Amino acid sequence: MKAFFMLIVLIAAGCASYKSYNQTTTGKVSLRGGIYQKESWDDTLKFKRMSWYYGMTLYFDALFWKADSTSKFAKWFSPSEKEFFSKCEKLLVTVAYSADPAKISHVNFREQMKLNGYDDVVLNNFAAYLKTHPSAGEWRLLNYKVMGYCKRSPSRLSSSGIAINFPSFQHLELNL
């Protein structure tokens, strides 16, 4: 009985300590298929993902897609949004969620993107198509903010990836 009690205490202590630290993860999110006017396709829109947690609570989540003007999903950009393809060395579409702006906010994220050499761009048309995608509900994308980030030519930084460093969290990098 004493050994059983010690096991319970040990498990409870482990669970309590697990919820008391910051952690980060990376991964991928895929949305299959798309529709634009009378055209539909089965291609997959693949995002790379960075997530910041406090214990089991998601503080901030960011999805990244290196926009490709030859992708069928590029049809979702308005004519003015498509202008950025010619003005940018790289155009990234980000889909970001902030659970608590007092901890990590969209402003903090924008500042990190500026440190990577990217300027923010509003993508209202693309955002509307993305948020009405059939898989958007599964990923709760209605709670996410869709933005574009343009790296102007010539590149201010030579890195091909993104590095994000929020205070008290592990430094994360993604190759795009």
Q: Tens digit of pLDDT for each residue in 67-95?
A: 999 999 999 999 999 988 888 989 999 99
The predicted-structure confidence for 100-157, as pLDDT tens digits, reads as follows 999 999 999 999 999 999 999 999 999 999 998 887 767 677 789 999 999 976 555 5
User: Can you tell me the distance from the alpha carbon of 158 to that of 18, in angstroms, rounded to the nearest whole number?
Assistant: 38
- Rounded to an integer, what distance in angstroms lies between the CA atom of residue 89 and that of residue 151? 5
Q: At 9, which helix (H) or strand (E)?
A: helix 2-18
pLDDT at residue 19 greater than cutoff 80: no
Q: What pLDDT sits at residue 14? A: 56
| Model confidence pLDDT, tens digit, residues 28-48 | 999 899 999 999 999 999 999
Please name which of 67, 110, 70, 71 lies closest in space to residue 90, comparing C-alpha atoms.
Answer: 67
- Both structure tokens of 130: 């993305």
